[in-house]
Structure 1
Amino acid sequence: MNSIAPQFIVKNVLESVQFYTKKLGFDINWMHKKDPKFAILEKDGATIMFRQLKKEGFVRPNREPFIESGWHTSAAEAWDAYIWVDQIDLLYQRFKDQDVSIIKPIQDTEYGNRDFEIEDPDGYILCFGKSVDN
């Protein structure tokens, strides 16, 4: 296996694409031109797909079942994706400068990574991290 591309169900593909390209720096790999209900975005080897369904109400970030099941009482570590990066501190500052919703500030973790968490407009939580050993 070489890579993985999670697919997020979103309320509005165009709004998601705008957030990920303008705020997070992703590039559009592919998006349907006539009826944009699906898009593929990439940045530095990370790929995320977005799907807008015909019916509303199906957006379900991982935090919801985490909280409902009693696993966590907050969004902490209820990631929808963990994205490995090289320049973690630079990326963190760039996201802060772009007013991205940071829900866990950058920190060294007990599991040996330095990471931080953001929330996208649909409530998906992305954790960006780097191994402290690297």
Structure 2
Amino acid sequence: MRDFFVDRLGFEIGAEVGNGPSFVTLDRDGQTIMLACRRSFGLRKRGWAAYFWVDDIESLLAEFRSRGAKLKGQIVDKAYGCREIIAVAPDGREIVFGERTETPTEQNR
């Protein structure tokens, strides 16, 4: 799973613990995800597993395509004021990247 985040989604390794490793921190655009690297968690393998805020969804989509990331469709405009793309991890979990399209004050009107 670590290699998916690094190779396909452009994260950088912050720290690794254990052989294999068993735990890593991964950084991208000022955000960090802490990832346990076990093979099985006994969790469902469908649905989103993580959500990241981004500033430029169009550029990110182009980057992910150039890295060969498996994506679930195109950019989708959501009714709650976000544009999103979904990357699909090797185990089927979805990693969502969203850009706000409205300011918080506009969302509350």
TM-score (norm 1): 0.66
Distance 1:42 1:59, change over 3 A: farther
Aligned match for 1:81, one of 28, 47, 50:
50
- Return the match for 2:7 from 22, 32, 40: 22
> Which blocks of at least 5 consecutive residues in structure 2 are unaligned?
104-109
Post-superposition offset of 1:113: 0.8
* Shift in Å, 1:58: 2.4
Please state how far the C-alpha of 1:52 moved relative to its aligned partner. Answer: 3.3
Tell whether 2:102 aligns with 1:119: no
Q: Report the count of equivalent residues.
A: 103
Question: What is the CA distance between 1:133 and its match in structure 2?
Answer: 2.3
Aligned with 2:55: secondary structure? Answer: coil
Rate the CA distance shift 1:33–1:58 in 2: closer, same or farther, 3 A.
Answer: closer
Match of 2:41 among 50, 58, 64: 58
Q: Residue type of the partner of 1:102? A: L
Q: 1:57 to 1:33 in 2, by over 3 A?
A: closer
Question: Judging changes above 3 Å, is the alpha-carbon distance between structure 1 residues 52 and 131 closer, same or farther for their aligned structure 2 residues?
Answer: closer
Give runs of ≥4 in structure 1 deviating > 6 Å: none
Contact persistence 2:2–2:37 (CA under 8 A): no
CA contact (8 A) 1:101 1:118 kept: yes
Residues 1:102 and 2:71 aligned together: yes
Aligned pair in 2 of structure 1 residues 117, 29: CA closer, same or farther (>3 Å)?
same
How well do the aligned residues superpose, as a CA RMSD in angstroms? 2.0
CA distance in structure 1 between the aligned counterparts of 2:83 and 2:22, rounded to whole angstroms: 35
Question: Runs of 5+ in structure 1 lacking a partner?
Answer: 1-15, 64-77
Cα gap change, 1:52/1:33 in structure 2, threshold over 3 Å: closer, same or farther? closer
Q: Which residue does the alignment assign to 2:33? A: 48
